Amino acid sequence: MLVRKIPDGTVIDHVPAGKALSVLRLLGDPQENGFTIAMVMNVNSSKMNRKDIVKVEGMEVSPEQVQRLALIAPRASVNIVRSYRVVAKKNAVPPRTLRGVLNCTAPTCVSVREKESAPSIFFLSGRSPLRYRCKYCGRELAEKEISSQLG
């Protein structure tokens, strides 16, 4: 499948199939701020079974956005394009610690019962597949749970 090359902006490849819209939401819905976007959904991939590709013209994603991207697309690669050339290639790296991002799924966890005194803190416990462990009760969230919590 051929997709028009973009002159400047960001190309996010190897997004899990079906997650392109979540990626856009994570980037703050650039299309609503006047940026042109292109999505390629559910294409064959040699690295994954099926993938989405997201292109945002005229916008370069920040390192913070690349980190957060790792939570819904842990194997994503991010290409920054200037004048039709890839000038930087970044891999999404999941943050070691997440504060106030995920919700523990253990009903008895102190972060669920006493949100104010025990705000949610998760530590990275696996990268492929992605896993995070609750600081308080040790409950692990699997990749599917993480991405569903994030939209």
| Least Cβ distance, residue 133 to Zn ion (angstroms) | 9
Q: Which is nearer to Zn ion, 34 or 107 (CB)?
A: 107
Reported in sequence order, the residue ranges of 7-151 that DSSP labels E, i.e. its strands, are 9-16, 37-44, 50-57, 77-82, 85-91, 97-99, 121-127, 130-134, 140-142
Identify which range of 1-9, 61-69, 79-87, 103-111 contacts Zn ion by CB under 5 A.
103-111
Q: Which is nearer to Zn ion, 39 or 150 (CB)?
A: 150
**Does 139 engage in binding with Zn ion (CB under 5 A)?**
yes
Residue with tokens 């949100």: 115
| Least Cβ distance, residue 79 to Zn ion (angstroms) | 36
Alpha-carbon gap, residue 144 to 2, rounded angstroms: 30
**Does 133 engage in binding with Zn ion (CB under 5 A)?**
no
* Single-letter code of the amino acid located at 79: N
Spatial CB neighbours of 14, under 8 Å, sequence gap ≥ 6: 45, 47, 48, 51, 73, 75, 76, 77
- When binding is defined by CB under 5 A, the residue of 66, 98, 134, 146 that contacts Zn ion is 134
74: which 2 tokens? 């842990």
| Least Cβ distance, residue 138 to Zn ion (angstroms) | 7
| Residues lying near Zn ion in the complex (CB under 5 A) | 104, 106, 109, 134, 136-137, 139
